[in-house]
């Protein structure tokens, strides 16, 4: 019984607390100066075992009237703060292709050093009148395995230590769309009668990011109605593991968000 979470829910109905963290950005300003945007990202992954042929493709745009002196793409590896120039941009809109080999060479890596589960962050830097600005968004390029539908469903163990949940669930794939999957048994692990659901999760085939659509799993739970899950995360196509941040709620309010891992048995 999650009494302390229920207490938090009741308090949350009456109290709103806000905070703001400030972090000094070591490379340029975000959303200042000449701001570029990234779009049409496809593909958005590097495929492990095929890195010599892997690439990402995207479009970089800026305001038509904006004047810049220089623009280039920078990248980092596995969350390091140091960013390295990968290639320049000479005109806009720019259709950019960047290979895993180019990224590795720019960052001083050997292809053999890159492992599944690694990731790179790419973004655009512009220089205008001496002011360095970063693109309105960056994107993470994950190193993944080719998608194997058989690794995405079956008997799984769901674990969420902060939600005090651990046990077996069943994941099935949609008969027509292997990137749509259904999770059954989450509410039951909380001792709740799971009379609704299953939880619908969708894997983005371009990035292997996952979105769990808000789904009611039980009519009632802990004295409340409409026990629901929603969230987002990633699918590890090499192991079949899902890493998710789940928001748990009822019709009367929310219990908060918790990290869940679904591990294939």
Domains of the chain, by residue range, sit at: 29-144, 148-264
According to DSSP, the β-strands at 70-77 and 224-236 are unpaired
Structure tokens at 247: 């928001």
Structure tokens at 31: 């959303």
Buried b (16+ CB within 10 A) or exposed e, 186-215: bbbbbebebeebbbbbebeeebbbbebeeb
pLDDT in tens, 138-165: 899 999 999 999 999 999 999 999 999 9
pLDDT in tens, 204-252: 999 999 999 999 999 999 999 999 999 999 999 999 999 999 999 999 9
Listed residue (189, 198, 190) closest to 217, CA to CA? 198
Does the domain spanning 29-144 belong to CATH 2.40.50.140? no
For the whole model, what pTM was predicted?
A: 0.83
CA gyration radius, the chain? 22
DSSP code at position 192: -
pLDDT value, residue 66? 79
Distances in Å between the Cα of 3 and the Cα atoms of 10, 122, 247 are: 11, 43, 17
Mean pLDDT on 174-195? 98
CB atoms within 10 A of CB 181: 24
At residue 26, does pLDDT exceed 90?
no
Distances in Å between the Cα of 101 and the Cα atoms of 5, 104, 140 are: 48, 5, 16
Question: Which listed CATH number (1.10.287, 1.10.8, 1.10.3110, 2.40.128) goes with 148-264?
Answer: 2.40.128
Listed residue (202, 194, 198) closest to 215, CA to CA? 198
């Amino acid at each position: 019984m999650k009494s302390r979470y229920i207490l938090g829910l009741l308090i949350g109905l009456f109290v709103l607390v806000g905070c703001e963290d400030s972090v000094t950005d070591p490379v340029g300003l975000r959303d200042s100066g000449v701001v570029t945007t990234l779009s049409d990202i496809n593909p958005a992954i590097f495929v492990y075992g095929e890195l010599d042929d892997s690439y990402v493709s995207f479009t970089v745009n800026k305001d038509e009237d904006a004047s810049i002196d220089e623009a280039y793409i920078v990248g980092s590896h596995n969350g390091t703060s140091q960013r390295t120039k990968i290639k320049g941009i000479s005109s806009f809109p720019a259709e950019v292709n960047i290979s895993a080999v180019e990224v590795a060479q720019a960052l001083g890596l050997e292809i053999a050093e890159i492992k599944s589960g690694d990731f790179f962050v790419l973004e655009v830097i512009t220089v205008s009148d001496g002011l360095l600005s970063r693109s309105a968004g960056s994107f993470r390029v994950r190193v993944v395995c080719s998608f194997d539908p058989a690794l995405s469903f079956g008997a799984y163990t769901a674990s969420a230590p902060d939600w005090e949940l651990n046990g077996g669930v069943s994941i099935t794939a949609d008969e027509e769309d292997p990137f749509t999957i259904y999770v059954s048994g989450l509410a039951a692990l909380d001792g709740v009668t799971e009379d609704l659901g299953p939880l619908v999760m969708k894997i983005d085939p371009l990035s292997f990011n996952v979105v769990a659509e808000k789904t009611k799993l039980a009519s009632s739970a802990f004295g409340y109605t409409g026990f629901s899950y929603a969230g987002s995360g990633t699918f590890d196509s090499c192991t079949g593991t899902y890493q998710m941040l789940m928001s748990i709620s009822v019709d009367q309010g929310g219990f908060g968000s918790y990290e869940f891992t679904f591990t294939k048995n």
